Structure 1
Amino acid sequence: MLVLLPPSETKHAGGSGPPLDLAALTAPDELTEVRARLVDAVVELAGDVPASRAALGLSPGLDGEIARNAALRHSPTLPAIQRYTGVLYDALDVGSLTKVQRAKADARLAVGSALFGVVRAGDPIPAYRLSSGSQLPGLPTLRTLWKPVLPPVLAAHEGLVVDLRSGGYQALAPVPGAVTVDVLSERADGSRAVVSHFNKAHKGRLARHLVTSRAEPADATALVGLLRRGGFHVERARGSSALTLVVPA
């Protein structure tokens, strides 16, 4: 089973790993060329602060993100699963996993990335700032760059894929047949609404359950059973790979 997570805009600073080595990341043969092209573009762009703000959608108060991009090649690295921060990663809480659970998480988790395409949980990466909707000067869209190389890498996974990425990252590399999850809140009167703010927290808890489970679901039916046994209220239309996670309002 492969669980695909969205990245976060915010990243933990620092790290104890060596500087970025693209050859050390997942699928180097397929993805290094695009990764190198994007790293070069991001570092060059960081030399022009106003242009960086415009391309990355940053306010002057976030110029520190531009400085991170400028130092991209030389900054220390962290395992990807420790680099990303925010609501989803707080709920996932990899720091509290046992050694056995962490090994499962490293084997089952991957993160979509505008800069690196996809990284496995243990891939060493520096802090950076680039989003799926960013447009780098002089380059095609990120979707155009990743479309020829990234979807085949994800499609090559032979087991079940649970795609928890947000729409912008799914668009960079759709995974045919992957199980997706929408989160709806249910009120006392039975009416439902899309969960916005806490969507990521619920997906983080779901991901934690998946990566710590001993089970290895082979399809959506088995996945639904696993989640229901774990206390999740999950619904699935017959024959569909789209799940709905229902939570109390």
Structure 2
Amino acid sequence: MLLLLPPSEGKSAPSRGAPVDLSTLSGPTLTDARERLLDELAAVSARPDAPELLGVGAGVAAEVRRNTALRTAHAAPAARVYSGVLYAAARLPELTGTARRRAGQSVRIFSGLWGVLAPGDRVPAYRLSMGADLPGTGRLGAFWRDRLGGVLDEQASGDVVVDCRSAAYAAAWRPPRAAEHVLVQVVREQNGRRQVVSHNAKHARGLLTHHLLTRTGRPPRTAEELAGAAEELRADGTVQAVELAPASGGRRTLTLVERP
């Protein structure tokens, strides 16, 4: 199982800890690309028009200024730095034993700045989305798409890829044909009609992530095994139904139906 997560806009800035050491991050072949983006992000974030260039509002100006000193900022495991709805439900920092080892092997977090991270990779809090278009680098999705295959393709081949990413982050890497690619979708059904949800979708994907990492038995290796594991969420009322659609466009869709 390879479990793909987006980052979160919400981040907890570490108050202590050594700065990021790029040589220790997973995917060492990405070091040069990370160096390049750290330098460009620092330069862009020092400009008066930085919020506009990064596609953020003036309300996060302090976070943008923080980008200018990322090489010396305190760093902590990515599982603790990302603090949004999905991560609150996934509870990655609480994992121990087998579940923690499984997360280290299976979970990969996509990032506009770092490309892809494992939960234990130590990084500072930053502000940069995959949808950004930097003056020197261009669209980050395209920038990383040329580089992430060498890091992820081999691990994904012959396994099931559980894709909880949003569209911007999905653009940075597409699983190879040798992998079973399953997109996780969350809908709410009310009065016979279904509606895709956004905020609650993050929560549901986080709950699924936690369940896949902590359940007994081996991790799923096929789409059908993944659907069977997701069905276990019905027992505690987390979801109303779980549906696995036939393959379309090289991937399958696992739909979690929320209770109204």
TM-score by length of 2: 0.88
Deviations 1:110-140, CA, capped at 9 Å, x for gaps: 1010111100010111111100111112222
Instruction: Provide the rounded CA distance (Å) in 2 between the counterparts of 1:207 and 1:67.
Output: 32
- Counterpart AA for 1:90: A
Deviation at 1:196, TM superposition (A): 2.0
1:96-135 equivalences in 2 (<5 Å): 96-135=94-133
- Counterpart AA for 1:161: V
Q: Is contact 1:92-1:208 (8 Å) kept?
A: yes
**What is the SS of the residue equivalent to 1:41?**
helix
Deviations 1:176-216, CA, capped at 9 Å, x for gaps: 442111111111x3221111221100110011101112322
Match of 1:243 in 2: 254
Match of 2:150 in 1: 152
1:163-174 equivalences in 2 (<5 Å): 163-174=163-174
**What is the SS of the residue equivalent to 2:116?**
strand
Deviation at 1:164, TM superposition (A): 0.5
Match of 2:40 in 1: 41
**What is the SS of the residue equivalent to 2:199?**
coil
- Counterpart AA for 1:226: A
- Counterpart AA for 1:213: R
- Counterpart AA for 1:192: R
> For structure 1, which runs of at least 5 residues remain unmatched after alignment?
none
- Counterpart AA for 2:166: S
Deviation at 1:99, TM superposition (A): 4.0
1:62-81 equivalences in 2 (<5 Å): 62-81=60-79
Identity within the alignment, %: 41
Match of 1:140 in 2: 138
Taking only aligned residues, the RMSD between alpha carbons, in angstroms, comes to: 1.7
**What is the SS of the residue equivalent to 2:34?**
helix
Instruction: Provide the rounded CA distance (Å) in 1 between the counterparts of 2:15 and 2:175.
Output: 31
- Counterpart AA for 2:185: D
Match of 1:225 in 2: 228
Match of 2:242 in 1: 234
Match of 2:3 in 1: 3
Q: 1:209 aligns with which of 211, 224, 231?
A: 211
Match of 1:180 in 2: 183
Deviations 1:26-62, CA, capped at 9 Å, x for gaps: 1112x112111111100111221x2211111233332
Deviation at 1:15, TM superposition (A): 4.6
Matched pairs, number: 246
- Higher relative contact order structure (alpha carbons within 8 Å, sequence separation ≥ 6): 1
Q: Is contact 1:17-1:124 (8 Å) kept?
A: no
Instruction: Provide the rounded CA distance (Å) in 1 between the counterparts of 2:184 and 2:59.
Output: 34
Q: Is contact 1:27-1:153 (8 Å) kept?
A: yes
> Structure 1 stretch 151-160 or stretch 126-135: which is displaced more?
151-160
Question: Structure 1 segments of 4 or more deviating over 3 A?
Answer: 95-100
Q: 2:89 aligns with which of 88, 91, 103?
A: 91
Q: Is contact 2:79-2:93 (8 Å) kept?
A: no
